[in-house]
Amino acid sequence: MESRIKPEPLETAGKGISVYSDMQIGFLCTTPFHYYLFEPVKKLLSNSNYVLVESNPRQYRSAREFFRDRHVFDAVENPQVIKDFDVLVCPFLMPLVYKENQEKIFVRMVYGLSKATWNYGWWNMLFDEFLVYGNYDAKILSFYGPTVKIGNPKFDDWFNGNVEPYPVEPNKKTILYLPTYDDLSTLSWVLPVLSKMAENFNVILKTHHGTNASELKKVFSRVEILGGDVDILPLLASADVVVSDYSGAIFDAILAEKPLVLADIPGAETFPSTTPSSLEHVVRNYALHTSDQALLRDYIVQALEEDPYLEKRKEVAQEWFAVRDGTSGQRAAQAIVNAQKDQREEKRFVQKALLTSTEFNKDLYKKKAERFLGKYFSWL
């Protein structure tokens, strides 16, 4: 099933020329993070709009303010808005939207390579097409439907040399900390280490969009703490080393070819939101990593001098990112306008087979998924 839907040849790639379509295309967002995901694609598509879908009250309020400040806010999700679109582009499944709009074309544009149990979960069966980074996620998601390898459109400006570095004190090296949130976050033990290092280094923390940055600022005043609404590319441009844990931002640092140190949580591979074969664990074969505070500091200093794994990460990045030439947005735009409804009978069969599978029902993560999705999917 991989790449059954191919984008048109890229005669206009890299030239910023719009892709025309008479279809109405909606980009569904729940956080400012999704603006940075979609904007390199949306700006190339005629007849496209952002639609803000409410997830939780705090995130919704901040997202609404973010979109309005950029004059790109279109409407809160409601039936009157959604019904006008032919194609809905989403970072993940939004159950209520899907339930009421099954006849539309649903395209999933991936936003990371970590947390495989979630990222490649059963809900992907409800999408018609997948825009993926490279060979790795294409192989997995092709089980659910057609995939198109586009790379990471968020990095088009990076590869085209259009990123201005974030302002930092020039006579100090810069440490950029990019943690995830929830049970896989290392904020509680890494941030105290970095706070002490802030005396001799520029230390910037960009929080996950699910983390409340304002509370951290009250405690760690030495560290420059930024919220999830900040563009990561200028931060990467200024960073001399990136520190992360199990965040998808690991792979942003790899794509940017930055020195990297990973903070560990013992036993994390057994957590329900991940799996030992998920890339946030596999990548530890290609990076300095530790769960010890003193060793973390030593590893950061070492990586600032020379990262022993940098060249190995450049090699594996070729498998994880198929496109690194600044044309990912153009490729994604053309794939979207070529998208078709996946009408295969076996798609329905796969849905039923997964939902009734004994092994699937033993999956611990399914219980978590059901809390999020279950009440909306009683009609399946």
* Pairing status of strand 174-178 against strand 147-149: unpaired
Whether residue 252 sits in one domain with residue 349: no
**Is 161 part of any domain?**
no
**Listed residues 281, 304, 320: the one ending a domain:** 320
Whether residue 329 sits in one domain with residue 313: no
Ordered strands of the 105-109 beta sheet: 48-52, 25-29, 87-90, 105-109, 129-132, 147-149
CB neighbour list of residue 375: distance below 8 Å, 6 or more residues apart: none
**Is 162 part of any domain?**
no
Tally the C-alpha atoms within 13 A of residue 218's C-alpha that lie toward its C-beta: 3
Whether residue 228 sits in one domain with residue 298: yes
**Listed residues 320, 337, 356: the one ending a domain:** 320
Whether residue 314 sits in one domain with residue 179: yes
- Tokens matching residue 168: 């930092």
Whether residue 182 sits in one domain with residue 314: yes
Q: Which letter does DSSP use for residue 76 in this model?
A: B
Rounded-to-integer distance, Cα 47 and Cα 170, Å: 44
Helices (H), 88-182: 95-100, 116-119, 135-141, 156-159
| CB-count burial class (<10 Å; 0-12, 13-18, 19+) for 380 | exposed
Q: What is the pLDDT of residue 367?
A: 47
**Is 269 part of any domain?**
yes
For residue 88, give its domain range: 25-152+325-376
Whether residue 262 sits in one domain with residue 290: yes
CATH number, residue 275? 3.40.50.2000
CA angle, residues 267, 192, 293, in degrees to nearest 5: 45
Rounded-to-integer distance, Cα 30 and Cα 34, Å: 7
Q: Which of 337, 255, 333 is nearest to 14 (CA)?
A: 333
Whether residue 272 sits in one domain with residue 194: yes
pLDDT, tens digit only, all 380 positions of the chain: 343 333 334 444 444 556 767 889 999 998 888 999 999 999 999 889 999 887 776 777 878 888 888 776 665 666 677 888 999 999 998 877 887 888 899 999 999 999 888 899 888 988 999 999 999 999 999 989 999 999 999 999 999 999 999 999 999 999 999 999 878 899 889 999 999 999 999 999 998 866 666 677 666 778 899 988 899 999 999 999 999 999 999 999 999 999 999 999 999 888 877 888 899 999 999 999 999 999 999 999 999 999 999 999 999 999 999 999 999 999 999 999 999 988 788 777 765 665 566 655 555 344 444 444 444 444 33
Rounded-to-integer distance, Cα 44 and Cα 25, Å: 12
Whether residue 316 sits in one domain with residue 185: yes
- Tokens matching residue 45: 């598509």
Whether residue 102 sits in one domain with residue 126: yes
**Is 223 part of any domain?**
yes
Q: What is the pLDDT of residue 274?
A: 80
Q: What is the pLDDT of residue 380?
A: 36
Whether residue 366 sits in one domain with residue 300: no
**Is 114 part of any domain?**
yes
Q: Which letter does DSSP use for residue 246 in this model?
A: S
**Is 366 part of any domain?**
yes
Whether residue 145 sits in one domain with residue 87: yes
Question: Do residues 262 and 284 make contact, with C-beta atoms less than 8 angstroms apart?
Answer: yes
* Pairing status of strand 105-109 against strand 174-178: unpaired
**Is 126 part of any domain?**
yes
- End-to-end C-alpha distance for the chain, whole angstroms: 24
**Is 169 part of any domain?**
no
**Listed residues 296, 320, 344: the one ending a domain:** 320
Q: Residue 345 corresponds to which amino acid?
A: E
Helix (H) or strand (E) holding 106: strand 105-109
In total, how many domains does the chain have?
Answer: 2
Whether residue 64 sits in one domain with residue 183: no
Q: Which letter does DSSP use for residue 18 in this model?
A: P
